[in-house]
Structure 1
Amino acid sequence: MKAVTAFLLVLCHLAISHAWNCGGAPRLSNIRQIDAGQGQVVATTNHNYAYFLVGPYWQYLRTNKIKHITVGPAGLWAVDTSNKVNKYVAGKFLPATGLAMQQVDAGGDVNIAGVSPSKKPYCLTTFRTLSYRGRSSPSWTTFSGSLKYFSCGPLFGCWGTNSHNQVYMTKKITTTNCGMSGWLHVSGLAVKVIEVGTDGSVFAVTTTGKVYQRVGITGSRPQGSGWRLVPMCMAIKHVSYDLGTLWVVTTSGLTMRCTH
């Protein structure tokens, strides 16, 4: 199996554009989803186990079964298989009562964004994000619209994709009260996953497993100006970007680490 993995990675290295240098990342079997932020990397597997990358090794995080995990300026958070939101506090995950979530994101300006099983997008203010210690039910603020995946960055707003695989972004979320500027439709791709880096970079995975980067993002034009293909030699199911590194998970379960 290791020989097959190495062979596939060599083929990918030869096939990918010179603009990106991709190689094998520390191996984790059956990886489903990966998230990077603040120099840290976490992941979940198809068996709902959560892991934290320490050097060249994945460290198992002992907790309830976790289906989605995120790390960033807001800390380390997760959603378990019962759709309970969990925050990592003093070496363990503490589940929250109240609102159910299917996915959360810790990449915003020290606040949490999330999507409920009914596809409603939500926000947790900075104060509530930082002060939560597992002793109460967080008070979420709901947004208009419907999303299946939601990701934020501290610089240029938040991005999401809905059940029709359409992309939307909001230029600014006020983290003190979760006020937002409204949704802007971004055309051009059918997207199943979209991720925002802490530097404002936006990467999307299409329904056909291709990876694209949003280009032209600036403070005056946070929606950017177009999509640029990031060539990959295999179909991709998840990505995350942090500090110049694009973490890529293929549909076959391989993990790659790509740098510009």
Structure 2
Amino acid sequence: MRRVPCGCGGEGDIWLVLLDLVVCGMFLRNVDHGARSGAWTCREAPQLYHVRQIDAGQGKVVARTSSNYVYFLSGSSWYRLGSTTLKHVSVGPAGIWGVDTSNRVHKYVAGNFVQSSGLSMQQVDAGGDGQIVGITPSSYSTYCLRSSLALAYRAGSLSWSSLSRTMRYYSCGPLYGCWGVDSRSQVYVTQRITPTSCGATGWTQVPGLTMRMVEVGTDGNVFGVTANGSVYQRVGISHARPQGTAWVSVSMCMPISHLSYDLGQLWVVTNSGMLLQCSH
């Protein structure tokens, strides 16, 4: 793996990141410490500039930059994974998966991403209980790859099982099911996808805010990003009430374009491509 200490790029983008650093620093200094005691406190994550997408799961963190290369965080350093460029990457119990700009599905195997054949996907998510879920381009149909196939896959064709809902963004967790956002930015949750068969329970619409994306953590925590870049956490989630009870605002110093959550750490990407790491 190639170590990348900063991921630096064009001067114009660097100035945007530096501006974000200044604004975020002023924000954190001006917020009363007592008021933040029960909230999220953010700091600059290990440096990887021009981040466009982030995913965290099972203690691992992967990110995609504007160059479409994928990086893996080890300690405080980022390492490039292989030479394949991807537009979306996800990490979870079934490994590291992604899709390229031609909507071909890849899995990270033996030091590089291996391209599969079969259905095209615009996004895949590896955060479930061993299964992989994906969304096809154009029709936005949802599909599931059974855990036995996902875990054993090394090369060749993938056999996907259809799910009964269209989505624009899709994320799963091993505890309380999968969450998705449809073409109207409405949020839905399904209580359970059986990883061995890809059988799913019915979908429930989550009332309240509309979202551009939602992400589910390994422990069942759910976070969403609205169209204007605001961040919210869904609270009150349980086996009896997988849709939760309310959206709670998570204050951020800048508009956010993407996020992910794992093991108490909230990873957020600002519109300029700066990466923040937040915790309670």
Q: TM above 0.5, one fold?
A: yes
Query: SS of the residue aligned with 2:157?
Result: coil
Q: Is the 8 A contact 1:101 1:116 kept in 2?
A: yes
Cα deviation, residue 212, structure 1: 0.5
* Aligned match for 2:25, one of 10, 22, 25: 10
DSSP-derived class of the 1:32 partner: strand
**Post-superposition offset of 1:259:** 0.3
Q: Deviations over 1:168-206 (max 9, x none)?
A: 110111111100111111121121111000000000000
What are the within-5 Å matches in structure 2 for residues 23-102 of structure 1?
Answer: 23-102=43-122
Q: Does 1:123 align with 2:144?
A: yes
Q: Secondary structure at the match of 1:241?
A: strand
CA offsets 1:129-160 (integer angstroms, 9 cap, x no match) = 111111x2111011112101100000000000
CA distance in 2, matches of 1:170, 1:208: 26
| TM-score, with length taken from structure 2 | 0.89
Q: Pick from 161, 166, 172: which aligns with 2:181?
A: 161
How many Å apart are 1:89 and its aligned residue?
Answer: 1.0
Aligned to 2:10: none
In structure 2, what is the Cα distance between the partners aligned to 1:48 and 1:63?
10
Q: Which amino acid aligns with 1:125?
A: R
Q: 1:139 aligns with which of 141, 159, 164?
A: 159
Rounded to whole Å, the distance in 1 between the matches of 2:264 and 2:240 is 23
For 1:102 and 1:246, locate their aligned partners in 2 and report how far apart those are by CA, in whole Å.
Answer: 24
Contact 2:24 2:253 in 1 (8 A): no
Following superposition of structure 1 onto structure 2, how do residues 204-215 of structure 1 map, counting pairs within 5 Å? 204-215=224-235
- Please give the alpha-carbon distance, in whole angstroms, between the structure 2 residues aligned to 1:6 and 1:45: 18
For residue 144 of structure 1, give the secondary structure of its aligned residue in structure 2.
Answer: strand
- Deviations, residues 47-68 of structure 1 (Å, cap 9, x unaligned): 2111111211211122322100
Q: Deviations over 1:13-48 (max 9, x none)?
A: 236661111100012221100000111110111221
State the shift of 1:216 in Å. 0.2
- Alignment RMSD: 1.4
User: AA paired with 1:204?
Assistant: G
Could you tell me the TM-score, scaled by structure 1's length? 0.96
- CA deviation digits over 1:84-138, x for unaligned, max 9? 111111111111011001111110001111111021111111111111111x211
Distance, in Å, in 2 between the alignment partners of 1:66 and 1:43 is 10
* Amino acid paired to 1:74: A
Range that drifts further, 54-63 or 142-151: 54-63
Map of 2:274 onto structure 1: 254
Aligned residues: 259
Identity of aligned residues (%): 54
Residue by residue over 1:185-238, the C-alpha shift from the partner in whole angstroms, topping out at 9 and shown as x without a partner, is 112112111100000000000011100000000111111111100011210010
CA positional deviation for 1:5: 4.9
Any gaps of 5 or more consecutive residues in structure 1? none
Instruction: Specify every segment of 5 or more residues in structure 2 that has no aligned partner in the other structure, as ranges.
Output: 1-14
Residue 28 of structure 1 aligns to a residue in which SS?
coil
State the alpha-carbon separation in 2 of the partners of residues 177 and 110 from structure 1.
11
Q: Give 2:5's aligned residue.
A: none
